[in-house]
Structure 1
Amino acid sequence: MSERRPNVVMILTDDHASRAIGAYGSVVNSTPRIDEIARRGVLFQNCFVTNSLCSPSRASILTGTYSHVNGVTTLETPIDASQPTFVSQLKAAGYRTAIVGKWHMGHGPGHDPEGFDFWDVLVGSEGQGEYWNPLFLSEAGERTVEGYATDIITDLALSWLETLDGDDPWCVLIYHKAPHRPWEPREGSRPRAESVPLPATFDDDYATRSASVRRATMRIAEHLALEDLKTAPPAGLGYEDAAIWKYQRFMEDYLDCVRAVDENVGRVIDWLDARGRFDDTLLMYASDQGFFLGDHGWFDKRLMFEESLRMPLLLSLPSQVEAGGVHEGIVTNVDWAQSILQAAGVEPVERMQGRSFWGDLVASPSPSAPPPAHGMYYRYWENDDASHRAPAHYGYRTRTHKLIYYYNDGLGLPGTGHFTYPPEWELYDLVRDPEELHNVYGDPSYADVRDELTAAMRSEQARVGDLPHPSQGV
């Protein structure tokens, strides 16, 4: 085991679904450089987001806390950047720290990045940034940088690393916009020689699902805007053919954006290898949440279904972690902060809520390592949002089952113009029904499972301090 404190590189993308990564068994594309991290390190099979939206997930990753603690519950709630993060703790312990790329947690006094020696982040498009000739904000002010954002972000990160001297360890967050909508490939849209396979659930009719799920406006067929595809379908297509055409166009651009990410991951790996730093660098690749790639006929995220809930996470640190491993335990984005700090030998702050998984990876874990998680708690706070009408909900997932409660908070209030929607429940047997097609909440044979999950969810809500308002039922 190396005595040198590891450097840290976290490469975070936006909306990169696990099934668009080769190491996770993708049948729609290949990602050889991202896969290399798994080959030289560990792939996490069961990493989940606790609030499937960009800003809340990024806040949880940084602070090691749930949305109700860090305050970033929705896309409209900016972060209090003065709160402690794993980066501020690393900086206090002597690390050089930087973030380049997508921030998306508010801008201005109190909301710009803090705890970083260097920061240069995307602004414009409501914090999303642009793919081409993006606008950046740093302590020196705003400027436009010509080129393609995925390449530029890597350029800026590697340029900062080149300025470092001495033996102090460093941490750099390389946060890409890609492959977030609108999908703008670096090389332009290129027709594929073969069509992209349709997911098995593309024609899902939601027959057993709640009304809360059925009213979400995320169907590719009806709700994916043509301006996102930058072209209109051929004339005369029927409903089904038009839906498939939209899916193919969406996937062409999405996967081309992923290809540019993969190439830039390779640039980072090559930079570390060329300087003999790969072995003593904690290199992480992840997305801030999952994404529906036509699964259940949907695009976007938000809902607690697997494709949205599941985050890809690949990690390497050859000096401490054996290559080629697979981590099967339940992990969430709230766990990352404490895990990184433990890898660096830095104490977490008391308010951090996650479970460090670092002891699961190293050869000699601490005898005081926390036990594996039995399940994970999720809460989506936005309700009936203008873009996708996703319902507010929370739930609990174990290795075998998932319980979801749509409390529909805020609907039916005077003057809102909304109808009143009643609370609803869903329960899925992930062993018998991994595609989550059959809601068995009302099935008497699942009564014991339903009661056990409800009690476990209540216990976890109490543990993390997210006790719902009485109007939210449970």
Structure 2
Amino acid sequence: MSKYNFPRLGSMFPILLLSLFVSCSGQQKVEKKRPNIVFIMSDDHAYQAISAYNNKLIETPNIDRIAQEGMLFTNASVTNSICAPSRATILTGKHAHLHGKVDNVFPFDTTNITFPQIMHEQGYQTAMFGKLHFGNNPKGFDEFMILPDQGDYYNPEFISKRGDTTITGYVTDIITDLTLDWLKNKRQKDKPFLLFYLHKAPHREWYPAPRHYREFTKRTFPEPATLFDDYAGRGTAAGEAEMSLLHHMTISADNKIYPDVAHELGIEEPSDWGFRIFKSKYGRFTAEQKKQWDEVYGPINEEFKKLYPGMNDSDLLRWKYQRYMQDYLGCIAAVDENVGRVLDYLEQSGLSDNTIVVYTSDQGFYLGEHGWFDKRFIYDESFKTPLLMRWPGKIKPGSVSDEMVQNLDFAPTFLEAAGVHIPDDMQGESLMPLLEGTPEKWTRDAVYYHYYEYPGFHAVKRHYGIMTKDYKLIHFYYDIDEWELYDRKNDPNEMNNVYDDPAYKDVVKELTQKLYHIRQKYGDSDSLDQQFIQKYKERGIIKFNKP
């Protein structure tokens, strides 16, 4: 007989069973407190084209729901207004000079640890569907189906762990179908999840779905006040940028004039790029898709043939603007519809109450302001990004925040929400004080920006700068040495550089010091800029004509 007096198993079984039940229930309760996260991001979606911000151009009722049930950020911005660097910043919580993806060409430092990797290690099920834009194997994801590079609007190809595949249909609908299929059929119900739902739209060259181009090509949209900007109030950079609707938006790829019609009218493009892109995209259509397209865009081409010979530059600019808006906003209509599909499922499935939903874009975009399309500048339309967040029980419905937040802040926010340690090398700040209604705990009063890709597409010069709620100070460097200061309250359209205005002498001094300190804080410097320039030269990524 044992010297230890163990009770018989029969008498202990109910106690053991109860103990196990209590333990498992406790674990389930803890698990349920960890929120799911649905991160919705579109590509080049201007905040001006979300009706929660302004409904002059379009109504976006489904995206607006996130703000109505959560928080709208009016001073959200990016650290570098170009696609791949912005996405790398979101994933790492670091500025571009640290994660290495300073532009769309320069490589991402794959030794970086991303927040999805951390959350996956901490028990989150992770999935990504849509456009990542760099890297074919995103780290830290249980499942992904992503577009190669920019992807296509019609009949897109996808990359996955199981290999490449082409899916017939319209990309915004397909990405949503993949997302909903995962939520319904592949989600592990005993785990919290992190879901990246990433739209290609409304990235150039703006090909809407048939249901939307039939409607939107009939609409006329209000022109921005600065459509005919002559850049007289600013420095060299604005005047030399190559993103003019009149001169740089292609008549074929962008405005959907068939190449043979353009040639018939004697229209010359800056290069044959526009014609090649149109032929490539048009060539992806199925016979039925081509028939539907020609039914709508054929008459547009015929009308343009009649109008073009009598057009002056102002007429052509106005025509291009309307064509741009019709297709760009038609793409957004599909995004809004499909966001609604996902929000509806979250509610119907009972997931809404414990799910953080974020809607944002990888940067802002010009919708004709200053006569431009595209992005890249620190000026507001490019630099500011839409940000709407919903988290039932945490975020007060209908909240609005004007605090200075950036895409740099997503990683630490999600990690804190999940109860996971934030790595010390992340440079963003958790948005939790703002989400929980304690803005007094938010200490940031300025954000930092740095753009690198010059010489390059659209010819936006290298620059860095700092923005507060009241002012924006910018330094353009490399081939020029120019400073600009804008009074955001008194000059919201940023038309007049007041850097040399004596009335702003003290502001210049204060912001210059603040810019110096924020560059130190984030580890950026002139010497680091020179290192990147040298790396570009060595790799032959960009051919430099200037010293």
What's the TM-score once normalised by structure 1's chain length? 0.92
Select which of 385, 398, 420 maps to 2:468.
398
Query: Is it true that 1:142 corresponds to 2:164 in the alignment?
Result: yes
After the TM superposition, which of the residue ranges 130-139 and 225-234 deviates more from structure 2? Answer: 225-234
Aligned pairs for 1:199-210 (under 5 A) are 199-210=224-235
Provide the C-alpha distance between the structure 1 equivalents of 2:516 and 2:341, rounded to a whole number of angstroms: 45
Residues 81 and 113, structure 1, Cα contact 8 Å, conserved in 2: no
After superposition, the Cα gap between the structure-2 partners of 1:132 and 1:168, relative to the gap in structure 1 and judged at 3 Å, is same
Select which of 206, 213, 220 maps to 2:238.
213
Aligned pairs for 1:5-84 (under 5 A) are 5-84=34-113
1:467 aligns to what?
525
Residues 217 and 323, structure 2, Cα contact 8 Å, conserved in 1: no
Query: Is it true that 1:177 corresponds to 2:200 in the alignment?
Result: yes
Provide the C-alpha distance between the structure 1 equivalents of 2:219 and 2:327, rounded to a whole number of angstroms: 14
Matched to 2:474, the amino acid is I
1:342 aligns to what?
416
1:196 aligns to what?
221
Select which of 428, 445, 470 maps to 2:503.
445
Provide the C-alpha distance between the structure 1 equivalents of 2:70 and 2:346, rounded to a whole number of angstroms: 15
1:167 aligns to what?
190
- Larger Rg, first or second structure (1 or 2): 2
- Spell out, residue by residue over 1:96-125, the C-alpha distance to the aligned partner (whole angstroms, 9 max, x if none): 001111111234xxxx211111111101xx
Q: Which 4+ stretches in 1 moved above 4 angstroms?
A: 191-194
Provide the C-alpha distance between the structure 1 equivalents of 2:379 and 2:438, rounded to a whole number of angstroms: 35
After the TM superposition, which of the residue ranges 160-169 and 215-224 deviates more from structure 2? Answer: 160-169
Matched to 1:291, the amino acid is F
Matched to 1:466, the amino acid is D
Residues 146 and 160, structure 2, Cα contact 8 Å, conserved in 1: yes
After superposition, the Cα gap between the structure-2 partners of 1:197 and 1:263, relative to the gap in structure 1 and judged at 3 Å, is same
Cα deviation, residue 194, structure 1 = 4.3
After superposition, the Cα gap between the structure-2 partners of 1:315 and 1:371, relative to the gap in structure 1 and judged at 3 Å, is closer
1:117 aligns to what?
142
After superposition, the Cα gap between the structure-2 partners of 1:360 and 1:470, relative to the gap in structure 1 and judged at 3 Å, is closer
Provide the C-alpha distance between the structure 1 equivalents of 2:471 and 2:111, rounded to a whole number of angstroms: 38
Residues 404 and 445, structure 2, Cα contact 8 Å, conserved in 1: yes
Residues 434 and 442, structure 2, Cα contact 8 Å, conserved in 1: no
Provide the C-alpha distance between the structure 2 equivalents of 1:17 and 1:189, rounded to a whole number of angstroms: 19
Helix, strand or coil: the match of 2:520?
helix
Matched to 1:374, the amino acid is D
Helix, strand or coil: the match of 1:244?
helix
Aligned pairs for 1:342-421 (under 5 A) are 342-362=416-436, 371-385=442-456, 387-407=457-477, 409=478, 421=479
- Spell out, residue by residue over 1:319-356, the C-alpha distance to the aligned partner (whole angstroms, 9 max, x if none): 32211101110001101110111111111112110111
1:242 aligns to what?
316
2:482 aligns to what?
424
Provide the C-alpha distance between the structure 1 equivalents of 2:208 and 2:189, rounded to a whole number of angstroms: 38
1:104 aligns to what?
133
Matched to 1:92, the amino acid is E
- Spell out, residue by residue over 1:116-147, the C-alpha distance to the aligned partner (whole angstroms, 9 max, x if none): 11111101xxx100001111111111111111
Identify unmatched segments of 5+ residues in structure 2: 1-28, 263-303, 531-547
Cα deviation, residue 225, structure 1 = 0.4
Provide the C-alpha distance between the structure 1 equivalents of 2:413 and 2:320, rounded to a whole number of angstroms: 41
Cα deviation, residue 79, structure 1 = 2.2
After superposition, the Cα gap between the structure-2 partners of 1:364 and 1:449, relative to the gap in structure 1 and judged at 3 Å, is closer
Select which of 449, 455, 459 maps to 2:513.
455
Select which of 355, 360, 364 maps to 1:286.
360
Residues 61 and 337, structure 1, Cα contact 8 Å, conserved in 2: yes
Query: Is it true that 1:88 corresponds to 2:117 in the alignment?
Result: yes
RMSD of aligned Cα (Å): 1.7
Residues 217 and 327, structure 2, Cα contact 8 Å, conserved in 1: no
After the TM superposition, which of the residue ranges 97-106 and 248-257 deviates more from structure 2? Answer: 97-106
Matched to 1:276, the amino acid is G
Provide the C-alpha distance between the structure 2 equivalents of 1:194 and 1:143, rounded to a whole number of angstroms: 36
- Spell out, residue by residue over 1:143-175, the C-alpha distance to the aligned partner (whole angstroms, 9 max, x if none): 111111111111111111221233210011011
Matched to 1:390, the amino acid is V
After superposition, the Cα gap between the structure-2 partners of 1:192 and 1:129, relative to the gap in structure 1 and judged at 3 Å, is closer
Helix, strand or coil: the match of 1:469?
helix
Helix, strand or coil: the match of 2:353?
coil
Matched to 2:224, the amino acid is P
Provide the C-alpha distance between the structure 1 equivalents of 2:247 and 2:219, rounded to a whole number of angstroms: 24
Cα deviation, residue 192, structure 1 = 4.8
2:300 aligns to what?
none
Helix, strand or coil: the match of 1:379?
strand
1:416 aligns to what?
none
Residues 329 and 372, structure 1, Cα contact 8 Å, conserved in 2: no
Query: Is it true that 1:151 corresponds to 2:170 in the alignment?
Result: no
What's the TM-score once normalised by structure 2's chain length? 0.80
Provide the C-alpha distance between the structure 2 equivalents of 1:319 and 1:281, rounded to a whole number of angstroms: 10
- Spell out, residue by residue over 1:28-49, the C-alpha distance to the aligned partner (whole angstroms, 9 max, x if none): 0000000001011111111001
Helix, strand or coil: the match of 1:240?
helix
